[in-house]
């Protein structure tokens, strides 16, 4: 079953607790947490302290996506904050093997993300080390952007590589996913579909989640 991971970045901070609870009650299993440092991406979001404060309020799988330079400095903090998945960008890490191994050692599932124009070939050796590969389908930094169509072919190629190498990492697609394109994103091979504005941007987040989740599994 394909899963939708609503991106907390698009939550209304005054309603965030109620929105997260409504999602959980609607059966949502993943919460996507976007961490931005104002350097790797031209925006700043929130850090491990927010994640730590959110942790006691939700049993969802916390899927943290670090869009930061030098993510190595933050790995321990996110482990302590209660992140379940921790994804770093291949463009921001110098020693990917070491970083992914450290994430695993800290008890989290290691993920690796690629910007839209970054080649899958950069991951060839690292794929067996990752539990999750995140394909960006917008240039990271902001919610509410339009899905970049060529990301679909990239997801298809990644799914082919996974099949031919006999690997089982999750394929996550992040950026511009809506109820209108979720079926094609899922058909291309995504297991986990991040949806920010398509869920948290709607007045009824539970209904919006259900619509994307249904489209992804149609």
- Write out the residues near Zn ion by the rule CB under 5 A: 34, 65, 174
Q: Binding string, 188-207, against ligand DX5, x = CB under 6 A?
A: ------xxxxx---------
- Cα dihedral: 156, 161, 166, 168 (round 10): -50
Asked if 204 and 15 touch (Cβ cutoff 8 Å), the reply is no
In the complex, least distance from residue 40 CB atom to ligand DX5, rounded to whole angstroms: 10
175 binds ligand DX5 (CB under 6 A): yes
| Contact range with ligand DX5 by CB under 6 A, out of 47-55, 68-76, 136-144, 154-162 | 136-144
| Contact range with ligand DX5 by CB under 6 A, out of 151-159, 175-183, 185-193, 205-213 | 175-183
| Contact range with ligand DX5 by CB under 6 A, out of 17-25, 157-165, 169-177, 185-193 | 169-177
111 binds ligand DX5 (CB under 6 A): no
* Count of C-beta atoms within a 10 Å radius of residue 204: 13
Cα angle, residue 150 at apex, residues 147 and 155 outer, rounded to 5°: 95
In the complex, least distance from residue 194 CB atom to Zn ion, rounded to whole angstroms: 5
Angstrom distances, CA of residue 203 to CA of 10, 39, 44, 207, 208: 12, 32, 24, 9, 8
Run of H or E including 214:
helix 205-216
Residue closest to ligand DX5 when measured from CB atoms: 196
**Size (the chain), residues:** 218
Q: Retrieve residue 139's tokens.
A: 């240039």
111 contact, one of Zn ion, ligand DX5, none, CB 5-8 Å limit per kind: none
Residues with catalytic roles: 34, 174
């Amino acid at each position: 079953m394909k899963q939708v991971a609503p991106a907390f970045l698009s939550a209304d901070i005054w309603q965030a607790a109620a929105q997260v609870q409504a999602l959980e009650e609607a059966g949502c299993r993943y919460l996507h947490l976007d961490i931005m440092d104002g350097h790797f991406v031209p925006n700043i979001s929130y850090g491990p302290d927010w994640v730590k404060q959110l942790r006691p309020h939700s049993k969802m799988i916390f899927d943290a996506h670090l869009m930061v330079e030098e993510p190595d400095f933050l790995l321990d903090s996110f482990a302590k904050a209660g992140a379940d998945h921790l994804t770093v960008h291949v463009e921001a890490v110098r020693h990917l093997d070491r970083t992914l191994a450290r994430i695993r050692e800290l008890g989290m599932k290691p993920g690796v993300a690629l910007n839209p124009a970054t080649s899958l070939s950069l991951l060839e050796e690292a794929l067996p080390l990752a539990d999750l590969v995140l394909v960006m389908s917008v240039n990271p930094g902001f919610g509410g952007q339009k899905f970049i169509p060529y990301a679909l072919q990239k997801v298809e190629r990644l799914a082919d590589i996974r099949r031919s190498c006999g690997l089982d990492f999750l394929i996550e697609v992040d950026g511009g996913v809506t109820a209108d394109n979720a079926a094609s994103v899922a058909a291309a091979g995504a297991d986990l579909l991040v949806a920010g504005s398509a869920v948290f941007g709607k007045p009824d987040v539970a209904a919006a989640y259900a619509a994307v989740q249904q489209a992804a599994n149609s």
